[in-house]
Amino acid sequence: MKIKTRALGALLGMLAFGVLANAAVAADRPYTEGAVINVSAIRTQPGMFDEYMKYVAGPYRQLMEEQKKAGIILGWSVYSVVPQGPNDPDLYLITTYKNMAALDGLDEKTDPSVDKVFGSMEKSTAAAIDREKIRKLMGDQLMRELVLK
């Protein structure tokens, strides 16, 4: 029995040492983890930039403001860029989240705002399909800010 108790004590001691060592290493990092942003690259179809911007200034803006009001996102922004080639985006839609944990259960958190803006998930899906006629989603990129100490 004494051997088992000693072995368990030694194991717990090593585990505690490992946890403390990891915490010390993390404390030595010259940065902390900050906000997380999602960057959506968009390419509008020729001649459809203003039409797409009507959507961005209308339903998209409403959706983002609802999510901001609900505390789901910290903020959002839109950037126009000059494409370098035919396969490059001409717009970036950026959404800022507090941290990676904010993305857990994101669909459940955002469904009420989607329903409020579009009326239902089905209508939201139909609107997304219609938007493909005026723009193409080139991809999304998730980034985390590193805040220097």
- Whole-prediction pTM value? 0.78
**Enclosing H/E stretch for 68:** helix 61-69
Residue ranges of domains in the chain, CATH in brackets:
31-148 (3.30.70.100)
What whole-number distance in Å separates Cα of residue 51 and Cα of residue 145? Answer: 32
Report H helices in 28-60.
Answer: 49-55
Q: Could you read off the pLDDT of 35-91 as tens digits, one per residue? A: 999 999 999 999 999 999 999 999 999 999 999 999 999 999 999 999 999 999 999
User: Token digits for 82?
Assistant: 């000059």
The predicted pLDDT at position 120 comes to 87
The predicted pLDDT at position 7 comes to 56
Three-class SS state of 121: helix
What whole-number distance in Å separates Cα of residue 25 and Cα of residue 96? Answer: 28
CA 26 to chain centre: 24
For 61, counting Cβ atoms within 10 Å of its Cβ (0-12 exposed, 13-18 middle, 19+ buried), the class is middle
> CA angle at residue 124 from 49 to 83, to 5 degrees?
25
Q: Could you read off the pLDDT of 44-57 as tens digits, one per residue? A: 999 999 999 999 99
Residue 25: pLDDT band with limits 50, 70, 90 = low
The conformation of residue 101, written as its DSSP 8-state character, comes to G
- The answer to whether residues 35 and 97 touch, using CB atoms and an 8 Å cutoff, is yes
